[in-house]
Amino acid sequence: MLTGLRDAALHYKGIIPTPVDSVFEGSKIKKLIAELNEAKTESGQSKAIEALVLYGRKAYPRIIDAFRNRRLHQTRFKTVLFRLCDAQYLPDILQLIGDPSEEIRRTAKEFILKRYAEAAASLLLDYLKSDDSGYRMAAVDLLCTIKSQACVPRLMAMYGESDSELKKNIIRILGETDAPGITKLLINALSDSSLSLRIQAVRALAVIKDPECIIPLTQLLTEDDTLLKRAVLDALIAIGDKSAAAAVLHLLKDIDLVIRQKSTECVIQLADATIVPDIIKLMRDKDVNVRRCAVDVLNNIRDPSTADSLVAAMKDSDWWVRQIATDALTEVKGENIIKFFITMLKDSSDVNMRRCAVEFFNKVTDPSALEPLISALTDADWWVREKAVTALGVLKDERAVAALSGVIDDSEIKWVIPSALASIGGQKVIEPLFVLLSDAQKRVRVGALKALGKLKDPGTLSKLKEMLDDEEGEVRLEAVNALKALTGRVFKSGEGKPQQPQQTLSTMMGFVLPEGSIQTEAILVLDLCNSTGIANKYGDQFALDLTKILTEKVRPVAKKESSRFMKSTGDGFLITFPKVPNAVRFAFTLLKEIAAHNATTEDDSARIQLRFAINQGETRIDAKGDRLGVATNMTFRVEGIKWEDLISLEGGMTKDELPLVDRVLVTEHVIEDAMKMEGMKSRLVGLFDLKGISGLHRVYLITDTQ
- Give the CATH number, domain containing residue 443: 1.25.10.10
- Please tell me which residue, 309 or 24, carries the higher pLDDT value: 24
| Same domain, yes or no: 487 and 562 | no
| Same domain, yes or no: 491 and 460 | yes
What pLDDT, on a 0 to 100 scale, did the predictor assign at position 13?
Answer: 39
Domain assignment present for residue 24? The answer is yes
d(CA 389, CA 394): 9
Domain assignment present for residue 261? The answer is no
Is the pLDDT reported for residue 663 higher than 80?
yes
Provide the CB-side half-sphere exposure for 557 (13 A, CA): 20
Cβ atoms 291, 261 nearer than 8 A: no
Of residues 443, 379, 441, 381, the one with CA closest to residue 409: 441
In 10 A of CB 315, how many CB atoms?
Answer: 14
Domain assignment present for residue 386? The answer is no
| Same domain, yes or no: 646 and 587 | yes
What pLDDT, on a 0 to 100 scale, did the predictor assign at position 693?
Answer: 82
Q: pLDDT tens digits for 334-383?
A: 566 677 778 778 877 778 778 877 887 888 888 888 998 999 999 998 98
Query: CB under 8 Å to 289, separation ≥6 — which residues?
Result: 257, 260, 603
CA-CA-CA-CA torsion sign (213, 216, 219, 220): negative
From 210-224, 267-281, 302-316, the region with the lowest mean pLDDT: 302-316
Cβ atoms 671, 682 nearer than 8 A: yes
| Same domain, yes or no: 408 and 478 | yes
Is the pLDDT reported for residue 29 higher than 60?
yes
d(CA 271, CA 2): 77
Burial class of 626 by CB neighbour count within 10 A (0 to 12, 13 to 18, 19+): middle
Of 462, 495, 528, the residue at which a domain comes to its end is 495
CA-CA-CA-CA torsion sign (251, 253, 259, 265): positive
What pLDDT, on a 0 to 100 scale, did the predictor assign at position 615?
Answer: 96
d(CA 74, CA 70): 9
| Same domain, yes or no: 50 and 157 | yes
DSSP 191-241: T-S-HHHHHHHHHHHHHH--GGGHHHHHHGGGSS-HHHHHHHHHHHHHH--
What pLDDT, on a 0 to 100 scale, did the predictor assign at position 509?
Answer: 46
What pLDDT, on a 0 to 100 scale, did the predictor assign at position 219?
Answer: 92
Q: pLDDT tens digits for 66-96?
A: 999 999 998 999 999 889 988 899 999 999 9
d(CA 44, CA 37): 10
Domain that holds residue 432: 399-495
What pLDDT, on a 0 to 100 scale, did the predictor assign at position 500?
Answer: 42
- Please tell me which residue, 471 or 181, carries the higher pLDDT value: 471
Of 186, 215, 230, the residue at which a domain comes to its end is 186
Domain assignment present for residue 71? The answer is yes
| Same domain, yes or no: 631 and 487 | no
Cβ atoms 372, 346 nearer than 8 A: yes
Residue 286 per-residue DSSP state: S
Domain assignment present for residue 549? The answer is yes
Domain assignment present for residue 337? The answer is no
Position 493 confidence tier, pLDDT thresholds 50, 70, 90: low
Cβ atoms 123, 92 nearer than 8 A: no
Of residues 354, 360, 429, the one with CA closest to residue 390: 360
Burial class of 100 by CB neighbour count within 10 A (0 to 12, 13 to 18, 19+): exposed
Average pLDDT, the chain: 83
> What element of type H or E holds 167?
helix 164-177
Domain assignment present for residue 180? The answer is yes
Radius of gyration of the chain from its Cα atoms, rounded to whole angstroms = 37
- pTM of full prediction above 0.75: no
Query: Alpha carbon 250 to chain centroid distance?
Result: 27
Of residues 119, 180, 181, the one with CA closest to residue 148: 119
d(CA 255, CA 683): 43
What pLDDT, on a 0 to 100 scale, did the predictor assign at position 304?
Answer: 59
What pLDDT, on a 0 to 100 scale, did the predictor assign at position 249?
Answer: 84
Helix, strand or coil for residue 686?
strand
For the domain that residue 655 is a member of, what is the CATH number?
3.30.70.1230
| Same domain, yes or no: 479 and 529 | no
Domain assignment present for residue 389? The answer is no
Q: From residue 612, how far is each of 199, 662, 672, 682 by CA, in Å?
A: 48, 8, 17, 14
Of 186, 221, 251, the residue at which a domain comes to its end is 186
For the domain that residue 90 is a member of, what is the CATH number?
1.25.10
Q: pLDDT tens digits for 574-620?
A: 999 999 999 999 999 999 999 988 888 777 777 889 999 999 999 98
d(CA 524, CA 542): 26
Q: pLDDT tens digits for 394-441?
A: 999 999 999 999 898 888 898 999 999 999 999 999 999 998 998 888
| Same domain, yes or no: 9 and 128 | yes
| Same domain, yes or no: 532 and 618 | yes
Is the pLDDT reported for residue 65 higher than 50?
yes
- Taking the alpha carbons at both ends of the chain, their separation in whole angstroms is 116
Q: Give the residue-averaged pLDDT of 141-150.
A: 90
d(CA 584, CA 587): 5
Q: pLDDT tens digits for 160-213?
A: 777 888 888 888 888 888 777 788 888 888 988 889 888 988 998 988 888 899
Give the total number of structural domains in the chain: 3
What is the biggest distance separating any 2 CA atoms in the chain, rounded to whole angstroms? 118
| Same domain, yes or no: 177 and 84 | yes
